[in-house]
Amino acid sequence: MIHLSMGKNHCSQFYQSSEVMSFSFYHNYSKHNVCYLRSLSMLHRNKNIALVGNPNSGKSSLFNLLTGLNQKIGNFPGVTVDKKTGKSVLSKNTTVNVIDLPGTYSLYPKSDDEIVTFDVLFDDDELLKIDVVVVVVDASNLKRNLLFCSQIIDIKKPVIVVLSMMDIAKKKGTQIDINGLSRALGFPVLAVNPRNNKGMTEFKKQLENTVNAKFQATQRDFIDNYALAPEAINAVKSVKEVTSDYAAIHFAAVYEKLNIISAEEKIKLKTELAKASFNKTKIQAEETLLRYGAIKKLMQHCVVEIYPLQKQLASEKIDRVLLHPIYGNFILLGVLFLLFQSIFWFAQFPMEWIDAGFGQLIETLKSILPQHFISDLFVNGILAGINGIVIFIPQIMILFGVISLLEDSGYMSRISFLTDRLMRKVGLNGKSVMPLISAVACAVPAIMAARTIENKKEKLITILITPFMSCSARLPVYTILISLVVPNTYLGGLISLHGLVLFGMYLLGFFMALFASFVLNLFIKVKEQSIFLMELPVYRMPRWKNTLMTMLQKARVFVFDAGKIILIISIILWGLSSYGPSNNHSIIAPTSLENSFAGIAGKKIEPLIKPIGFDWKIGIALITSFAAREVFVGTMATLYSVDGDDSNTLREKMEAAVNAQGEKVYTLPTGLSLLIFYAFAMQCMSTLAIVKRETNSWVYPLLQFVVMGLIAYISSFAIYHLFS
């Protein structure tokens, strides 16, 4: 029996150790926000294992193998911006909690995601404290990785060192004496390749032994930490219990940023450290020099490197072409162009089959089901809504599949490198590119990814401009509108005009984001220098299994997350479209859609949207799609089904739609106006919520909502009248 004692903030849910968990651990982490186990039975909890390491060291791949969770894995720095947790069964009697922490180069936190790593490693709460730290070390960059590894060793927790990228180290001519390195560090060292599962059996056995043994961390320091700052170390120890002298130095350096130190302790530390004249910059510089000196001696005994005639990796030869300052950018544009062409090339036929199949099913059911409101709800509400979801699964899968291939191959990091110069002209740097690229999938995790940006001004600007990037939620809107108003022709017999326009929409969002950044850079004044450092991973063959899993996972997320919203709104909209008020204030089935509750609401807002070419049905879709942009398609499917259109497919229904004057609704001016509106308008409640949380203010999301809405309206007005 486990007894729970709640703090000031009550826990809403407690996850039993036998269940698999996956949750985000944000930078506002506080021990008052979690449940506390206060009984002796807490000793039987699963042990907590932390995976740490430099960015792009293979840490997330190892986590995926240990837990079996389908976690996003990408071959670029900064992919893990949250703390993700899963269960790993090491043996019949041993199950552990595995925690994948954000990649970092040092224990000194500079960005919000690095503070997450620090908080977790140093938290002394009995429920949350880390029992074993697994340090994933890139063997092909051993010297740099050992700096962080040596810091972890000196905090005096049980450690296992995992050497990844051994195949790359071998190609570079690096030979590592693993047993000698283990003796020198004082901890187990194992070679593991998560990509092909090599070494995992031995690693799990070592992890189980370390977890179950009463392990005593080595008492010797990697360097003489106490000599660095004796007064500061004693000052910290007088206020807070710490695991080692080195831990005390870190608390002295960054205590103001930490969430695991109370306000009272911070006040005491400030006073005591002032007496000790603690200079964190000087201490950190001295420590780094000492560590690299010790690492150099260690490597002389345990590592053989071919310096004079070091082998040139194939990646370096490829980068001469792909990172060329001129034609490297043209290659990048070509890759992105092929990405959006493939969406139309490969998705066209399955989408047509799905749409035609649903159209035929709906017509068949209409002919055989009795005339009843339940039949009408099922056919025109539920099925029409499901059609608006399922039809876009092929495009969603293709989009994420290609993005996964680019990430896994190592090319995604090159995009940051190539665009750094352009980013700096608008007040950002290459680190902002990764959140912007991630926004092509979804703006919510992309905004969270901005935590990796140390510069506060650049982080804020990145958060504010990210929603301009065209996300996957806009993809269903773009494709249905492009297919309606753009001719289905091929330039030169190969280049789809539909794909070309879709590519243009994504470029439009990107350049609008850059323009917005340029403007914001003029108004936001923060004197803080930024440095862009990024390690480029080697090129590798993509893992097709990982790509397939990503495609299936994203399709599932779209169906069950976005699909739930679309289906619920479709059912509500069916009710509002099927019923309306009567003269005696009762509810009746109206003679036409215009007299329904939805029709009346649409007519009310029509004067506002008519100048940009929209009718009242589009107006209803604009309102419903504020929940999620992709709801636009589901709304159209429901409205035209309720309106009694006999066409089979949604596209045919929209193509045949006419206004009161008998003119086509979806003309070229109206279609382009709608495309521009959805490209610029902030129509996503989830994005607004995440901006509020990341900025800790309602000012910025409200500013985004108003400004982006105005830009969308003015741009649509200009486009509509220009093409009319």
For the residues of 229-276, what is the DSSP string, one character each? -HHHHHHHHHHS--SSHHHHHHHHHHGGG-SSS-HHHHHHHHHHHHHH
Query: Could you give the 3-state DSSP secondary structure of residue 657?
Result: coil
Written as six digits, the tokens of 340 are 């959006």
Q: Check whether residue 683 and residue 648 sit in a common domain.
A: yes
Q: CATH no. for residue 194?
A: 3.40.50.300
Neighbours of 265 (CB within 10 A): 16
Is 179's pLDDT higher than 50? yes
Q: What does the pLDDT average to over 556-567? A: 74
Query: Could you give the 3-state DSSP secondary structure of residue 23?
Result: coil
Domain's final residue, options 248, 271, 304: 304
Count Cβ atoms within 10 A of the Cβ of residue 345 and give its class: 0-12 exposed, 13-18 middle, 19 or more buried: middle
Average the pLDDT over each of 175-184, 302-311, 393-402 and give the range with the smallest value. 302-311
**Domain assignment of residue 529, yes or no:** no
Is 17's pLDDT higher than 50? no
Q: Check whether residue 431 and residue 501 sit in a common domain.
A: yes
Q: What pLDDT is recorded for position 24?
A: 38
Give the span between the Cα atoms of 601 and 595, in whole angstroms.
10
**Domain assignment of residue 242, yes or no:** yes
Is 282's pLDDT higher than 50? yes
For residue 490, what are the β-bridge partners?
A: 496
Q: What pLDDT is recorded for position 517?
A: 93
Q: What is the largest CA-CA distance in the chain?
A: 94
Average the pLDDT over each of 240-249, 250-259, 492-501, 595-604 and give the range with the smallest value. 250-259
CA 290 to chain centre: 37
**Domain assignment of residue 556, yes or no:** no
pLDDT band at 16 (very low <50, low <70, confident <90, very high): very low
Give the span between the Cα atoms of 692 and 463, in whole angstroms.
10
Domain's final residue, options 304, 338, 370: 304
Q: Check whether residue 261 and residue 339 sit in a common domain.
A: no
Q: Check whether residue 272 and residue 372 sit in a common domain.
A: no
Q: What does the pLDDT average to over 576-593? A: 78
pLDDT band at 82 (very low <50, low <70, confident <90, very high): low
**Identity (one letter) of the amino acid at 641?**
S
CA 608 to chain centre: 36
Q: What pLDDT is recorded for position 88?
A: 86
Q: What pLDDT is recorded for position 401?
A: 85
Average the pLDDT over each of 170-174, 180-184, 205-209, 602-606 and give the range with the smallest value. 170-174
Q: What pLDDT is recorded for position 9?
A: 38
Q: What does the pLDDT average to over 76-86? A: 55
**Domain assignment of residue 108, yes or no:** yes
pLDDT band at 44 (very low <50, low <70, confident <90, very high): low
CA 153 to chain centre: 30
Q: What pLDDT is recorded for position 390?
A: 82
Q: What does the pLDDT average to over 223-251? A: 88
Element containing residue 420 per DSSP (H, E): helix 411-425
Q: What does the pLDDT average to over 137-166? A: 90
Q: Check whether residue 713 and residue 610 sit in a common domain.
A: yes
Q: Could you read off the pLDDT of 477-531 as tens digits, one per residue? A: 998 999 899 988 888 777 889 889 999 999 999 999 999 999 998 888 766 666 6
Count Cβ atoms within 10 A of the Cβ of residue 40 and give its class: 0-12 exposed, 13-18 middle, 19 or more buried: exposed
Query: Could you give the 3-state DSSP secondary structure of residue 135?
Result: strand
**Domain assignment of residue 530, yes or no:** no
**Domain assignment of residue 219, yes or no:** no
Q: Does 94 or 214 have the greater pLDDT score? A: 94
Q: Check whether residue 495 and residue 410 sit in a common domain.
A: yes
Is 31's pLDDT higher than 70? no
Is 721's pLDDT higher than 90? yes
CA 688 to chain centre: 16
Domain's final residue, options 273, 304, 335: 304
Q: Could you read off the pLDDT of 286-345 as tens digits, one per residue? A: 998 999 999 999 988 898 876 544 445 677 788 888 888 888 888 988 888 887 777 777
Give the span between the Cα atoms of 258 and 240, in whole angstroms.
13
Q: What pLDDT is recorded for position 641?
A: 76
pLDDT band at 655 (very low <50, low <70, confident <90, very high): confident
Burial per residue of 594-630, b for 16 or more beta-carbon CB atoms within 10 angstroms, e otherwise: bbbbbbeebeebbeebeebbbbbbbbbbbbbbebbbb
Q: What pLDDT is recorded for position 40?
A: 39
Average the pLDDT over each of 44-53, 94-103, 512-521, 548-557 and give the range with the smallest value. 548-557
Q: What does the pLDDT average to over 664-677? A: 94
pLDDT band at 389 (very low <50, low <70, confident <90, very high): confident
Give the span between the Cα atoms of 123 and 112, in whole angstroms.
16
Predicted TM-score of the model (pTM): 0.68
**Identity (one letter) of the amino acid at 630?**
E
Q: At 132, give phi and psi (nearest 5°).
A: -140, 135
DSSP string across 183-211: HHHTS-EEE-BTTTTBTHHHHHHHHHHHH
Q: Check whether residue 300 and residue 332 sit in a common domain.
A: no
Neighbours of 528 (CB within 10 A): 9
Count Cβ atoms within 10 A of the Cβ of residue 59 and give its class: 0-12 exposed, 13-18 middle, 19 or more buried: buried
Q: Check whether residue 78 and residue 171 sit in a common domain.
A: yes
Give the span between the Cα atoms of 519 and 371, in whole angstroms.
58
Q: At 565, give phi and psi (nearest 5°).
A: -65, -45
Number of compact structural domains in the chain:
4
**Domain assignment of residue 106, yes or no:** yes
Q: What pLDDT is recorded for position 689?
A: 84
Query: Strand ranges (DSSP E) for 502-641?
Result: 580-581, 587-588
Host domain of residue 249: 230-304
Q: Check whether residue 206 and residue 234 sit in a common domain.
A: no
Q: Could you read off the pLDDT of 47-76 as tens digits, one per residue? A: 889 999 988 788 878 888 888 754 444 443
Q: Check whether residue 702 and residue 570 sit in a common domain.
A: yes
Q: What pLDDT is recorded for position 177?
A: 92
**Domain assignment of residue 225, yes or no:** no
Residues 6+ apart with CB under 8 A from 323: 414, 417, 418
Q: What pLDDT is recorded for position 76?
A: 38
Neighbours of 213 (CB within 10 A): 9
pLDDT mean across residues, the chain: 80
Nearest Cα neighbor of 496 from 348, 358, 390 is: 348
Average the pLDDT over each of 107-121, 400-414, 675-689 and give the range with the smallest value. 107-121
Count Cβ atoms within 10 A of the Cβ of residue 241 and give its class: 0-12 exposed, 13-18 middle, 19 or more buried: exposed
Q: Check whether residue 497 and residue 633 sit in a common domain.
A: no
Q: Check whether residue 137 and residue 71 sit in a common domain.
A: yes
Three-state SS for 147-177 is HHHHHHHCCCCCEEEEEECHHHHHHCCCEEC
